[in-house]
Amino acid sequence: MGQIVIVAYKPKPGKEEALKQLMKTHIPRLKQEGLVTDRKSIIMEAADGTIIEVFEWLSAEAIANAHHNKAVQQMWGEYAEVCDYVPLNTLKEAGNMFASFVPVN
């Protein structure tokens, strides 16, 4: 069974565009490794510039396998250069009954 996740990426100063470009490759690269479903991801932006993504891993096993996959580890290294992962509840919008964001894709 798939696992839908929501992740927030806060761009490092001056790395906003680099993060957005990297986001375009995220799902295709995971798909190439057989780790995500065919479900289209949703990418959006918070008022503070944080990028939020909703996507579906193939399974809990796929998530575990990602942590031992060299291609995924390389990609995560690229993410570490341009952003920090932040909890959703740190976003101002998360405190609203209907959290709304600006679409990126």
Q: What pLDDT digit, counting tens, does each position of 41-85 carry?
A: 999 999 999 999 999 999 999 999 999 999 999 999 999 999 999
Which pTM value belongs to this model? 0.91
Nearest-5° Cα angle at 12, 7 to 15 = 100
User: What CATH number is attached to the domain comprising 88?
Assistant: 3.30.70.100
Other Cβ atoms less than 10 A from the Cβ of 50: the count is 22
SS3 label, residue 55 = strand
Could you tell me if residue 23 is inside a domain? yes
What are the structure tokens assigned to 9, written together?
A: 């990426």
Q: Position of tokens 């503070």?
A: 48
Nearest-5° Cα angle at 17, 83 to 14 = 65
For the chain, how many structural domains are there in total? 1
Could you tell me if residue 100 is inside a domain? no
Question: Which of 25, 19, 33 has its CA nearest to residue 67?
Answer: 33
Could you tell me if residue 22 is inside a domain? yes
